[in-house]
Amino acid sequence: MTDAPATDELTPPVRTLMGPGPSDVHPRVLRAMGTPLVGHLDPAFLDVMDEVQELLRYAFRTDNQWTLPISGTGSAAMEAAFANLVEPGDTVLVPTNGYFGHRMASMAKRAGGTVVSVDAPWGEPLDPRDVEDAFETHQPEVFGFVHAETSTGVRQPAVPELTGIAKAHDAFVIADTVTSLGGVELRVDEWDIDVAYSGAQKCLSCPPGASPITLSDRAMDRVLARETPVRSWYLDLSLLEGYWGDNRSYHHTAPVTNVYALREALRLVAEEGIERRWERHRRVARTLVSGLAELGLERYAAEEYWLPSLNTVRVPNGVDDTALIEQLLSEYGIEIAAGLGDLAGEVFRIGCMGHSARPANVHHLLAALEETLETHRS
């Protein structure tokens, strides 16, 4: 029998996280993760669960009873939304104007839905007239849209207009708010959204692992009245309701430490105030965009649907985007990202989210970019 291999202490490098996520984690959130572990049915943890749910309602701007963190990353919350709302044979309308609209389509198909699309170019939001036409043509039971498209840096404006179209056709609305919750104006109840899901690691500045979702009573009634079981046992909200509802009955072992972290991240949101937090993201991102323009970097998304939490800028002619990104990371410890899908090689994606949305981070990045661009342009 061989001896166990020697192991070194884990010492990842210190990074400034200015990519599409994760963002920098607030020191208070990191400290919360060192809180002593208790069981997921311990009375002390049940109190934490109650507090997390109430804080999530505040962040989502909702009174929905069915507001909770899914055990998993934002993609798990996304899959929970589609797996529970979509029954086999349902027609599901999804957008084509970004990477995560295509992921919606994939998840809806796996849930047994018949997917149809409403089209818009990458880098532009959905036009309500096109959404109306798609509803008239396809009469979908479920409509999904991306409020903040991480691949393009586009924020979907006029959300109440989209949800109004859906409700006029008695359809359910699922909103992807992964890159907007806690950083960009979002009003679930006022905008009449049936299901909104998000991730913890972006504007909430929390490690991934417990991902917010909220459902209206109307949406939860649909889940509880399904004719077929949800294909995922783990993500079945009719079962999770037993744990996150009034009974607090066992379903699976919740990620206790991640819930501690989410609680502290949400406490920071509440202390700052949600509307002041939205304004901070916009103010700091405006400084970033202005600085990028001075460096000759052109913003990709138009002003009227600019997404402050995720900024896309065009890669200058003659610049190798991969090489520049690697140099920023290796020499300056700054993470930004390349384009996805149709925008691969076309844009840089620069996050300005949560604890990363600070002037010091922006100035550090701009100074590093100035030096790096000079090297790559010469």
Distance CA 348, CA 299 (A): 10
Same domain, yes or no, for 207 and 309? Answer: no
Same domain, yes or no, for 136 and 282? Answer: no
Which residue segment(s) compose the domain that 336 sits in?
Answer: 16-20+273-377
Integer-rounded Cα Rg, in Å, for the chain is 21
Classified as helix, coil or strand, 149 is strand
Cα–Cα separations (whole angstroms), residue 146 to 103, 125, 181: 11, 9, 12
6 belongs to a structural domain: no
31 belongs to a structural domain: yes
Last residue of a domain, one of 245, 270, 295: 270
DSSP-assigned beta bridge partners for residue 348 = 313, 338
Q: How many domains does the chain have?
A: 2
Distance CA 147, CA 149 (A): 6
pLDDT at residue 1 in the model = 66
Same domain, yes or no, for 241 and 122? Answer: yes
Say how far residue 182 (Cα) sits from the centre of its chain.
10
DSSP-assigned beta bridge partners for residue 215 = 66, 195
Same domain, yes or no, for 208 and 131? Answer: yes
Contact of 160 with 191, CB cutoff 8 Å? yes
2 belongs to a structural domain: no
128 belongs to a structural domain: yes
10 belongs to a structural domain: no
131 belongs to a structural domain: yes
Last residue of a domain, one of 270, 301, 319: 270
Q: Which two tokens mark 187?
A: 């009003």
Same domain, yes or no, for 219 and 294? Answer: no
Same domain, yes or no, for 180 and 322? Answer: no
**CATH code, domain carrying 370:** 3.90.1150.10
pLDDT at residue 164 in the model = 98
Which residue is listed with tokens 């498209």? 149
**CATH code, domain carrying 179:** 3.40.640.10
Same domain, yes or no, for 245 and 288? Answer: no
Q: Which string of DSSP letters, residue by residue, matches 234-269?
A: TT-HHHHHHHHSSS---SS---HHHHHHHHHHHHHH
pLDDT at residue 45 in the model = 96
3 belongs to a structural domain: no
pLDDT at residue 378 in the model = 61
pTM value surpassing 0.85:
yes
Same domain, yes or no, for 99 and 175? Answer: yes
Same domain, yes or no, for 233 and 256? Answer: yes
7 belongs to a structural domain: no
The answer, yes or no, to whether the previous bond of 22 is cis (omega within 30 of 0) is yes
Distance CA 372, CA 290 (A): 18
Same domain, yes or no, for 146 and 163? Answer: yes
Same domain, yes or no, for 260 and 304? Answer: no
Q: Where are the alpha helices (DSSP H) in the chain?
A: 27-32, 43-60, 74-85, 99-110, 128-138, 159-168, 217-224, 237-244, 256-272, 274-294, 321-332, 359-377
Last residue of a domain, one of 243, 270, 297: 270
Q: Which string of DSSP letters, residue by residue, matches 296-341?
A: TPPBSS-GGGB-TTEEEEEPPTT--HHHHHHHHHHHH-EE-EE--G
Written as tens digits, the pLDDT of the chain (378 aa) is: 677 777 788 888 999 999 999 999 999 999 999 999 999 999 999 999 999 999 999 999 999 999 999 999 999 999 999 999 999 999 999 999 999 999 999 999 999 999 999 999 999 999 999 999 999 999 999 999 999 999 999 999 989 999 999 999 999 999 999 999 999 999 999 999 999 999 999 999 999 999 999 999 999 999 999 999 999 999 999 999 999 998 899 999 999 999 999 999 999 999 999 999 999 999 999 999 999 999 999 999 999 999 999 999 999 999 999 999 999 999 999 999 999 999 999 999 999 999 999 999 999 999 999 999 988 876
Distance CA 333, CA 340 (A): 22
Q: Which two tokens mark 222?
A: 């649909």
Same domain, yes or no, for 132 and 262? Answer: yes
